[in-house]
Amino acid sequence: MLAIAVTVACGAPVLGHSLDEVDQDLRAKETYFQPVDSDAPAFSLQDADGSVVSLASLRGKVVVLNFIYTSCPDVCPLHSERIAELQAMINQTPMKTLVAFVTITTDPRRDTGEVLRDYGKAHGLDPVNWVFLTAAPGQAEDSTRKIAEAYGLKFVEDDGGMQMHGIVTHVIDQDGQLRARFHGLKFEPVNFVVFINALTNRAQKPHPHPEPSLWEKVEGLFR
């Protein structure tokens, strides 16, 4: 039912609210939302097949970016499953072709191409608009951890190879601007999808007359 509500709410342009409106609603309603407006740090890495993928190559799409490593025993699998949930919701709407999901490993030495492919399948991520990236040959082993740090997220490796880190889902707009961080795993998926919808609509002007918020319209579908 949640997915149906999001499809109805995000599939019709008439319901699209401006980014400013959605930003203000999220500041009030979503504890784990952090608005940002800065250049997203660049990266150029390779996917499981060895093809180069850069942030610049994704211009024109909204990018949902997260960092994990595949041998992480606890929060990384949970984060991956949340990303898969968000992807499934978005891919049921016209946003499917407008959004790219990017996961970067912070353990490129262990996370080979085969490992990356198997991890995506195991956690339900759809390769149609999701890619798992690792360091390219010649890049330093800590290069992807430095990229994560540029995004404000530290992965600190201990002697046993485990990495202490937080959980953040980053949202980058079509022009390469970092627009939001969603912290942890407790944010409401509908709030995330509505924010992505506002970016894909690129509607900047608020409505000239009062009307129910997008959240109220979604909630009304269940009444």
* Span 56-95, pLDDT tens digits: 999 999 999 999 999 999 999 999 999 999 999 999 999 9
The reported pLDDT for the residue numbered 18 is: 80
Q: Is the per-residue pLDDT at 26 higher than 80?
A: yes
148 within domain boundaries: yes
Average pLDDT, the chain: 88
pTM, rounded to two decimals: 0.84
> Which residue range is the domain that position 61 belongs to?
2-201+212-220
The reported pLDDT for the residue numbered 216 is: 60
206 within domain boundaries: no
Query: The domain that contains 160 carries what CATH number?
Result: 3.40.30.10
143 within domain boundaries: yes
DSSP 59-120: TTSEEEEEEE-TT--SHHHHHHHHHHHHHHHHTTSGGGGTEEEEEEES-TTT--HHHHHHHH
For residues 136-165, give the mean pLDDT. 92
Higher pLDDT, 93 or 216: 93
207 within domain boundaries: no
Number of domains the chain is built from: 1
Q: Is the per-residue pLDDT at 220 higher than 90?
A: no
110 within domain boundaries: yes
102 within domain boundaries: yes
Higher pLDDT, 42 or 2: 42
The reported pLDDT for the residue numbered 19 is: 87
Summarised one tens digit per residue, pLDDT across range 31-53 is: 999 999 999 999 999 999 999 99
The reported pLDDT for the residue numbered 6 is: 53
For residues 152-181, give the mean pLDDT. 94
